[in-house]
Structure 1
Amino acid sequence: MSKPLGHFTSYTLNDGSLLESLQEEYGNTFELMTKREKLFLIFAVASQLCDQAPGRCRDEIYVVGHQMNSSLPPADREGLLETLVNQVRWGKSILPLELPPME
């Protein structure tokens, strides 16, 4: 069962925010968006947050990403999205790796 936007964000009723506008336009669980549109927004937000995060990815993570996309069925990839979002928001992470600059 999907939870409403306010469950995950700082949105409060009648706050005049972008979140309120999104809820009015697309529903409080984004039910008025297609799956493709939701996935695009996940991509857009994740790309921007990734660009702002300190450090860089280890080379092996690119391989893991490819393996996940090429080997797992869609339901498992969707489950991984949920797992990763939960960990980004509430989990612990190692400090950014000190990797040599890219050549």
Structure 2
Amino acid sequence: MSKPLGYYTNHPPGDDSLLDEVQKKYGSCFEKMSKREKLSILVILASNLGCQLEGDVRGEIYAIAREMTDQLSLSDQAGVMEAIISQVRWGQNAEPIHHP
């Protein structure tokens, strides 16, 4: 079972913020959105967050991501997304090692 939006954010219900409006329109667990719509929001937010960070993405990362889309089940792809979100949110990320 999903937890409400306030569990994941600093959003107090009823504060007339953007998140309050989104919650009123689409439900506290986004239950009035399709899975495709939720994933679209995830793509847009992830892209925005990534653009805020310095540094480049190694080419091999794009290759690994492509292999994941080709070889992993949809469930495993969602699991990888969940793992990455948790690591990004809670600081469990390492800077890439640069080899001379």
Give me the TM-score of the superposition, normalised by structure 2: 0.91
Aligned to 1:87: 87
Aligned residue number for residue 19 of structure 1:
19
Alignment correspondent of 1:101: none
Aligned to 1:68, the other structure's residue is in SS state helix
* Matching of residues 1-103 of structure 1 within 5 Å: 1-95=1-95
SS in 1 for 2:3: coil
Offset of 1:93 from its aligned partner?
A: 2.0
Please identify runs of 4+ aligned residues in structure 1 that moved more than 3 A.
95-98
Q: TM-score of the superposition, structure 1-length normalised?
A: 0.89
Please give the alpha-carbon distance, in whole angstroms, between the structure 2 residues aligned to 1:96 and 1:53.
Answer: 13
Q: Report the alpha carbon displacement of residue 91 of structure 1 after superposing the two structures with TM.
A: 3.2
Distance in 2 separating the partners of 1:95 and 1:72: 25
Backbone CA RMSD of aligned residues: 1.4
Q: Distance in 1 between matches of 2:77 and 2:70?
A: 10
SS at 1:20's partner residue?
helix
Q: Cα distance, 1:97 vs. partner? A: 6.7
Gaps of 5+ in 1: 99-103
Alpha-carbon deviation of 1:14?
A: 1.6
1:58 deviation in Å?
1.1
